[in-house]
Copies of this chain bind each other. A is one copy, B any other.
Amino acid sequence: MVRDWAAVFDLDTDAEDFSEHLDREWFRGRPYRHLPEARHGVERGTAIFDDAVVRGYPSIPRALVLEAAVKARFEGPVAVEEKLDGYNVRIARIDGDLLALTRSGFVCPYTTAKVAELLDLDGFFADYPEQMLCGELIGPENPYTEHDYPEVEEAAFYVFDVRHRETGDPMAVPRRRECCAEYGLDAVGHYGTFAPEAAAEAAIETVRDLDALGREGVVLKSVDGERALKYTTSAVHRSDLEHAFALPFDYGRDFLFTRVMREAFQTVEFDESPEEARERARKLGEAILLPAVETVRAVEADEAVGDTHTVRADPAVVEALLSYFRDKGLKLAVERDEREGDQRVVEFTKIARSTQDKTAYFLEGGTVDE
């Protein structure tokens, strides 16, 4: 059966035109298609497996001034929950197969193996076959991100949403939290549910606490799960910048302006004194410049520069992951490749070619017209 995708997705174009935006991939020999960027009103990351759909996770609007944004966005009670700094994963079960999709709709072989190893999902999917679990994969051992959490040694999955796999409709917050408790799933931290007038202040207090712990921030949600808003700490703005400016010609330009402006509005909303603002500015400057200096020196010393990750899984899973990266054109430098029991542990660097090449160009006397 071929479904009428224009009707399923309520497209503003015909199904053929929509299909041209889909990338084709394979998972364990089975083809599927996914939408790496939002198109025609369909969320980025939406994936299609024969007749089955896994809807993309919606982009959550970001507040720069929290109190005003809460007032503009919410009319009823607001749940305040933690936003974790890892990568967004949707877990669905299709034809009995557990699949873990990254934000772009790619079925990651590593993440799929990892969630199967970490979680017992039979009970949940037996009772909720049409739902998907949406959560953050965090911890040091993963191929995408690198934020450390003291409570996670290797990797862990925290649920922040349960949504209908095909429509994307969210489960209400209280029911979702009960559901996590019932099936033994870790849920993101919940700081309470507040009247809209009180939610911003509560969230700001939480953000101050999370900032002191070096954690990312909060997501505010209407209790029906339909409306959401995110807001982040100075600590994560700086750590984003440190990461971006370690590889400035790969990430620097996009990251920089947005984080600076988040900091500027936060300084004003937090009503900081001149001394506090100056201290924030100095830390910001250090987060930007010092990693870039270190990278220029590393390239000068002929060292490889890039993002380094460690993965640990069944050898076939690790091989599938590394093949995927190489097929995508990434250049990988393997720093460590060992067996621990029946698992393969690989530490590898995704070489940041733009940073490597452009930095070398300038070190060799290259000029720029600006």
Q: What is the interface of chain A, defined by CB distance below 8 A to chain B?
A: 59, 61-65, 68-73, 229, 245, 248, 252-253, 256-258, 260-261, 263-265, 267-268, 272, 277-278, 280-290, 292-293, 295-297, 300, 362-370
Q: Which chain B positions have C-beta within 8 A of A61? A: 367-369
A221 to chain B, nearest CB (A): 14
Q: Which of A258, A367, A368 has the most CB of B within 10 A?
A: A367
User: In this complex, what residue of B is CB-closest to A258?
Assistant: B370
User: In this complex, what residue of B is CB-closest to A229?
Assistant: B367
- Is A290's CB under 8 angstroms from B300's CB? no
Q: How many copies does the complex hold?
A: 2
Q: Which chain B positions have C-beta within 8 A of A364? A: 68, 72
A366 to chain B, nearest CB (A): 7
A361 to chain B, nearest CB (A): 9
A313 to chain B, nearest CB (A): 32
CA distance A258 to B367 in the complex (A): 12
Q: Which chain B positions have C-beta within 8 A of A281? A: 282, 285-286, 288-290
Q: Which of B253, B256, B257, B264 contacts A296 (CB 8 A)?
A: B264
Q: Which of A253, A260, A282, A289 has the most CB of B within 10 A?
A: A289
- Is A365's CB under 8 angstroms from B68's CB? yes
A-B contact list, 17 entries, CB within 8 Å: A61-B368, A63-B367, A65-B365, A68-B363, A248-B257, A258-B368, A258-B370, A264-B292, A265-B362, A267-B293, A268-B296, A268-B297, A268-B300, A277-B289, A285-B286, A285-B287, A288-B288
Q: Which of A264, A268, A297 has the most CB of B within 10 A?
A: A264
**A-B complex: 4 closest residue pairs judged by Cβ atoms:** A285-B285, A72-B365, A68-B365, A61-B367
A360 to chain B, nearest CB (A): 10
